[in-house]
């Protein structure tokens, strides 16, 4: 008897589309609006576990209106990207972390777990089939969106006995409509994203649904996304679709790069982890930060909005930026907080002395220009 989470890539069935589409020109791409010709699906039932995976033409799914996903938000997802370098080599970036997080999200909302390596193997086949959809331009990639939903026909609430995993692909450029420019955030004190013991650390659809009304409100006030604050102290947590970093100059001249700790209310981002790891190797002196002569220390610690405001007023705030798969590294130039705009320094290229080298190091590894064991090869 195979283990319950078993997916068998050797059973993968491929049905090709009869009407392939043209890849749109890159300038016209809006983030997440274009999809490739094929998708991967794997069905699950409590009795039989995971069925044979299938690659088939991208198109509507047939689901009953009583499917639990429509009623109780039994939905989780991941986001990762495929890159194709100038020589045609196709790579993913640390995809095993996405598989592990997806399984943690599945457990949290009682959806079935699965063998992440086996799903990756099937995703590899899908990406190879769609390789002409991977843009070869800097800043562009093929966004990979796995989603897992509860499909049992039931409006009684219980863990589902039917589920479906689906992977779709979307050629993308910059996440924000203004391109690779700094973003303005609304420091939200009226709504919360997560609470202790809740689902903030999991990548489930419901976390994002509840953020849409505050995001609409932030947009009306002229900001791009919410900066979620927590508690009466207004602790920084994360941004709409990004983790958050702040660089302070400490009184002794040291630069301190801070990100809020993973306290169960923050998404453990793959890009967050990569930025931290790269910053720590800068701090150890093994990579040098250009234009930055100071010592760098890296801390995962709590930081409040009043601390940020004071540091800006004292000229000690060097920069702030968000990190995420979709957003990569996005500098922040303004935060609306308690009715006032706090202006965050950015340099003329829109970045800062800490984010610039980190961004270069990160993107180099993501695209395979800098060889690293974070690269997962799809095709050489």
Nearby residues of 133 by Cβ (< 8 Å), 6 or more positions away = 23, 36, 37, 142, 169, 171
**Does the footprint of ligand COI cover residue 324 (CB under 6 A)?**
yes
Least Cβ distance, residue 156 to ligand COI (angstroms): 30
Residue (35 or 248) nearer to ligand COI, CB? 35
Residue (79 or 182) nearer to ligand COI, CB? 79
Q: Pick the stretch among 40-48, 83-91, 103-111, 318-326 that binds ligand COI (CB under 6 A).
A: 318-326
**Does the footprint of ligand COI cover residue 322 (CB under 6 A)?**
no
- Going through the chain in order, the beta strands assigned E by DSSP cover 13-14, 38-45, 49-50, 54-57, 75-77, 80-84, 90-93, 141-150, 162-172, 183-188, 225-230, 235-239, 243-249, 255-259, 296-300, 317-324, 328-337, 340-343, 375-379
Interatomic CA distance for residues 37 and 59, integer angstroms: 9
Q: Pick the stretch among 84-92, 162-170, 209-217, 325-333 that binds ligand COI (CB under 6 A).
A: 325-333
Site string for ligand COI, 190-229 (x = CB under 6 A): ------------------x---------------------
| 57 CB neighbour count, 10 Å cutoff | 13
Least Cβ distance, residue 325 to ligand COI (angstroms): 3
* Span 232-271, contacts to ligand COI by CB under 6 A: 241
Least Cβ distance, residue 208 to ligand COI (angstroms): 6
Q: Pick the stretch among 91-99, 125-133, 152-160, 322-330 that binds ligand COI (CB under 6 A).
A: 322-330
**Does the footprint of ligand COI cover residue 146 (CB under 6 A)?**
no
**Does the footprint of ligand COI cover residue 112 (CB under 6 A)?**
no
Q: Are 334 and 343 in contact (CB under 8 A)?
A: yes
User: For the stretch 227-250, what's the b/e string if a residue is b when 16 or more beta carbons lie within 10 angstroms of its beta carbon?
Assistant: bbbbeeebbbbbbbbbbbbbbbbe
* Span 10-29, contacts to ligand COI by CB under 6 A: none
Residue from 171, 153, 197 nearest 63 by CA: 153
**How many chain residues bind ligand COI (CB under 6 A)?**
7
Residue (72 or 208) nearer to ligand COI, CB? 208
- For the record, the structure tokens of 315 come out as 């000229």
Residue (325 or 375) nearer to ligand COI, CB? 325
Q: Where do the H-state alpha helices sit in 109-229?
A: 116-129, 205-209, 212-220
**Does the footprint of ligand COI cover residue 95 (CB under 6 A)?**
no
Q: Pick the stretch among 176-184, 279-287, 301-309, 321-329 that binds ligand COI (CB under 6 A).
A: 321-329
Residue (74 or 241) nearer to ligand COI, CB? 241
Name the residue number minimizing CB distance to ligand COI.
79
Q: Are strands 235-239 and 225-230 parallel, antiparallel or unpaired?
A: antiparallel
Interatomic CA distance for residues 289 and 192, integer angstroms: 36
Least Cβ distance, residue 31 to ligand COI (angstroms): 7
Least Cβ distance, residue 166 to ligand COI (angstroms): 15
**Does the footprint of ligand COI cover residue 79 (CB under 6 A)?**
yes
Residue from 183, 189, 299 nearest 242 by CA: 183
Residue (149 or 327) nearer to ligand COI, CB? 327
Helix (H, G, I), strand (E, B) or coil at 280: helix
**Does the footprint of ligand COI cover residue 325 (CB under 6 A)?**
yes
Nearby residues of 259 by Cβ (< 8 Å), 6 or more positions away = 243, 244, 245, 246, 272, 275, 276, 299, 300
By CB under 6 A, name the one of 102, 326, 329, 346 that touches ligand COI.
Answer: 326
What one-character-per-residue DSSP string does 32-58 give?
A: T----SEEEEEEEETTTEE---EEEES
Q: Which residues lie near ligand COI (CB under 6 A)?
A: 79, 208, 241, 324-327
């Amino acid at each position: 008897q195979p283990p319950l989470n078993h997916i068998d890539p050797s059973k993968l069935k491929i049905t090709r589309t009869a009407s392939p589409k043209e890849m749109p020109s890159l300038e016209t791409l809006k983030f997440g609006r274009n999809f490739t010709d094929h998708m991967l699906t794997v069905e699950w039932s409590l009795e039989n576990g995971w069925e044979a995976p299938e690659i088939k033409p991208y198109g509507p799914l047939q689901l009953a209106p009583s499917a639990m996903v429509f009623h109780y938000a039994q939905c989780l997802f991941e986001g990762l990207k495929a890159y194709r370098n100038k020589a045609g080599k196709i790579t993913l970036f640390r995809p095993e972390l996405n598989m592990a997080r997806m399984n943690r999200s599945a457990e949290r909302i009682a959806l079935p777990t699965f063998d992440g390596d086996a799903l990756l193997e099937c995703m590899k086949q899908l990406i190879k089939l769609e390789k002409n959809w991977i843009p070869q331009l800097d800043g562009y990639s093929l966004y990979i969106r796995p989603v897992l939903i509860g499909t049992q026909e039931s409006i009684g609430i219980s863990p589902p006995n039917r589920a479906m995993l689906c992977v779709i692909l979307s050629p993308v450029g910059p996440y924000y409509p203004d391109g690779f420019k700094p973003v303005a955030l609304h420091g939200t004190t009226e709504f919360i994203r997560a609470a202790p013991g809740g689902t903030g650390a999991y990548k489930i659809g419901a976390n994002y649904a509840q953020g849409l009304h505050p995001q609409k409100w932030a947009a009306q006030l002229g900001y791009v996304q919410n900066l979620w604050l927590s508690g009466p102290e207004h602790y920084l947590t994360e941004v709409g679709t990004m983790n958050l970093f702040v660089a302070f100059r400490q009184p002794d001249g040291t630069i301190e790069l801070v990100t809020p700790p993973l306290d169960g209310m923050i998404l453990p981002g793959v890009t967050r982890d990569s930025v931290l790891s790269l910053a720590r190797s800068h701090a150890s002196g093994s990579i040098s930060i250009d234009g930055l002569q100071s010592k760098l220390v890296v801390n995962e610690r709590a930081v409040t909005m009043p601390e940020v405001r004071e540091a800006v007023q004292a000229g000690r705030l060097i920069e702030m930026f968000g990190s995420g798969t979709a957003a990569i590294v996005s500098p922040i130039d303004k935060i609306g907080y308690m009715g006032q705009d706090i202006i965050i320094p950015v340099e003329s290229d829109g970045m800062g002395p800490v984010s610039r080298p980190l961004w270069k190091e990160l993107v180099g590894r993501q695209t395979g220009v800098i060889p690293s064991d974070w690269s997962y090869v799809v095709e050489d």
